[in-house]
A = this chain, B = another copy of it.
Amino acid sequence: MPEMNSAKQNRTKIPALGYAVLGLLQQKPSSGYDLRKIFSSTAMKTYSDSPGAIYPALRRLEKGGLIRGVIEEMSGLRRRQIFRLTPKGLSELRKWIQRPVKVEDLGRRDSDFMLRFAFSERVAGPAASIELLQSLAAAQSAFLPPLHQQLKTLGPLMPTSARLALEWGIQGSEAWLKWTQFAISAYEKERKGGTS
């Protein structure tokens, strides 16, 4: 086969939900139930709020030494385990956030990147956020041309609905690129007039 996606990953890969948990725990030590509430009520609905996902994920992260849970016995005898990041967990989170964006990552606009970026400032500082945005911009500029190409060559042969779907691929990516510029300039403005 010419070049199918193979990708040999070294084990211990953390899934998206795991990073979402790490990021939230860095912001505020929480129980599994706290996390479930966040995943079910806020804009982070992409991640599963089911106990069958959260609790096993917490145990995996704990076994990997990335978080540590302590049972809070204080007020009221309702058992409740609060998890916190360990230093190892923090460094793992930081490494994930600072990974450069590759063109292949851009397929889904909703994934991975936004989660990383959302956490970036808290975890690694504004400089890291800016770097991430620039890495994104670079990847994006390489992403669009092939799509235009596909539309030009295949578009006329496709049914209207299929062509329109492909056009969303383009329009959506362009909107995302605009957001990237917007975000970069927001950081530049902050740097000048900011609270520094």
Contact = CB atoms under 8 A, between A and B. Distances in A.
Interface of A: 1-5, 36-37, 40-43, 45-46, 49-50, 107-110, 114-115, 117-122, 126, 129, 147, 150, 159-162, 164-169, 171-172, 175-176, 178-179, 182-183, 186-187, 190
A168 B186 CA distance: 13
Contacts of A167: 179, 182-183
Nearest to A165: B118
A71 B172 CA distance: 41
A186 B169 contact: no
Contacts of A4: 36, 40, 49-50
Q: Is the interface of A mostly helix, strand, loop or mixed?
A: helix
Nearest to A146: B43
A117 B119 CA distance: 34
Contacts of A42: 150
B43 A169 contact: yes
Max chain B CB contacts within 10 Å: which of A36, A150, A159, A190? A159
Contacts of A168: 114, 176, 179, 183
17 contacts: A4-B36, A5-B40, A5-B45, A5-B50, A42-B150, A43-B169, A46-B108, A109-B109, A117-B164, A119-B162, A121-B162, A129-B160, A164-B179, A168-B179, A172-B172, A172-B175, A172-B179
Contacts of A43: 147, 150, 166, 169
Given A42-B150, A147-B43, A160-B186, A172 B176 contact: yes
A5 B49 contact: yes
Contacts of A150: 42-43
A4 B147 CA distance: 38
